[in-house]
């Protein structure tokens, strides 16, 4: 019960309040959602990625183990979501939205605080979460952009869009500067920190604005699709992660951190991509909202069962 209340009060409730503020602002002023999504993609997301990678100690062994897990996990999730897509017979746009809702999960503004809560700020598990967050930031800005545009744009245009995403340059730059021990001048570090700190609030308010701009009447077919997305993300995700870490025989804290990282709800990136490229915005917003809501129970259960084994 203490863990449940702690997650509710320190993780979910603050996120819910910011989402709610976004809804209120949208209903009151009709904000420009495109502008908000561009701020997230081109400023705040790159800043938080650079800040965490540059300032977190990550060993070569951790990188190897996490990357192997991540590849296996994403392949497994992809197989599961493609099975659902084939059974449901989705349109091209809906196929992209469903894939994004399952494959992209909230490893930053939900995963980082959750990791610190579950493992009491352990540096080893934080490094694991930072690596997952790095990949979960890189993939939406490459595969995610391709996925939502593949059915309506030529490849040259898609690649121009992908190459314009700053995250794909920020990640290797942060690793290089850290590896070479290059200090960041205070005049540059301060604005990066300001932008990094702004990411969580702006991203959640953007989600609220999108929720506030859509109809609250959900068709029966959309309810089924959102439910399937939530089950694949919140239930199948941690179960698949548990199977993979068991097969790989990973050290217990690394394994636990990877399982917890897989249990978080759908990423805001799926909403930002849907808004930025006008693809199934209502489904994307509702999948994030519903998965975040029900993660109160599922994440608590995952942490509870892991505590029994640790």
The residue ranking higher by pLDDT, 16 or 278, is: 16
Please give the Cα distance from 92 to 90 (Å, whole number): 6
Contacts of 254 (CB under 8 A, 6+ apart): 62, 65, 66, 124, 125, 128, 245
Please give the Cα distance from 248 to 69 (Å, whole number): 8
User: Residue range 49-76: average pLDDT?
Assistant: 90
Q: Taking CA 14 as the corner, what is the angle to CA 230 and CA 132, rounded to the nearest 5 degrees?
A: 55
Note the pLDDT of residue 149: 64
State how many domains the chain has: 1
* Per-residue pLDDT reduced to its tens digit, 20-40: 899 899 999 999 888 887 888
Residue 95 domain boundaries: 2-309
Note the pLDDT of residue 304: 81
* Per-residue pLDDT reduced to its tens digit, 96-113: 889 999 999 988 778 887
CB 31 within 8 A of CB 262: no
Note the pLDDT of residue 238: 97
Check whether 308 has a pLDDT greater than 50: no
Contacts of 231 (CB under 8 A, 6+ apart): none
Please give the Cα distance from 234 to 298 (Å, whole number): 6
Note the pLDDT of residue 281: 82
Note the pLDDT of residue 127: 84
**Tell me, what CATH number does 32's domain have?**
1.20.1530.20
Check whether 116 has a pLDDT greater than 80: no
What predicted TM-score, i.e. pTM, was given to this entire model? Answer: 0.80
Note the pLDDT of residue 292: 82
* Alpha carbon 81 to chain centroid, angstroms: 17
């Amino acid at each position: 019960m203490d863990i449940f209340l702690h997650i509710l009060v320190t993780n979910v409730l603050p996120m819910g309040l910011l989402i709610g503020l976004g809804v209120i602002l949208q209903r009151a002023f009709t904000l420009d959602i495109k502008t908000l999504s561009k701020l997230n993609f081109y400023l705040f997301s790159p800043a938080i990625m650079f800040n965490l990678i540059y300032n977190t100690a990550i060993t070569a062994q951790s990188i190897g183990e996490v990357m192997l897990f991540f590849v296996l996990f994403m392949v497994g999730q992809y197989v599961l979501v493609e099975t659902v897509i084939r059974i449901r017979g989705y349109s091209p746009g809906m196929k992209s939205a469903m894939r994004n809702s399952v494959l992209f999960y909230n490893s930053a503004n939900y995963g980082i605080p959750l990791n610190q809560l579950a493992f009491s700020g352990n540096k080893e598990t934080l490094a694991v979460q930072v690596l997952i967050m790095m990949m979960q930031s890189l993939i939406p800005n490459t595969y995610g952009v391709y996925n939502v545009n593949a059915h309506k744009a030529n490849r040259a245009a898609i690649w121009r869009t992908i190459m314009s995403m700053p995250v794909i340059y920020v990640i290797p730059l942060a690793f290089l500067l850290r590896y070479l021990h290059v200090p960041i001048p205070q005049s540059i570090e301060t604005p990066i920190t300001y932008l990094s700190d702004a990411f969580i609030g702006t991203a959640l308010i953007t989600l609220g604005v999108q929720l506030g701009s859509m109809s609250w009447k959900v068709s029966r077919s959309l309810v089924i699709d959102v439910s399937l997305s939530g089950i694949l993300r919140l239930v199948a995700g941690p179960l698949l992660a548990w199977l993979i870490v068991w097969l790989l025989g990973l050290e217990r804290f690394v394994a636990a951190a990877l399982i917890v990282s897989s249990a978080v709800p759908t990423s805001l990136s799926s909403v930002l991509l849907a808004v930025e490229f006008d693809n199934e915005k209502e489904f994307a917003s509702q999948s994030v909202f519903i998965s975040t809501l029900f993660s109160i129970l599922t994440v608590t259960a995952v942490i509870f069962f892991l505590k029994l084994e640790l």
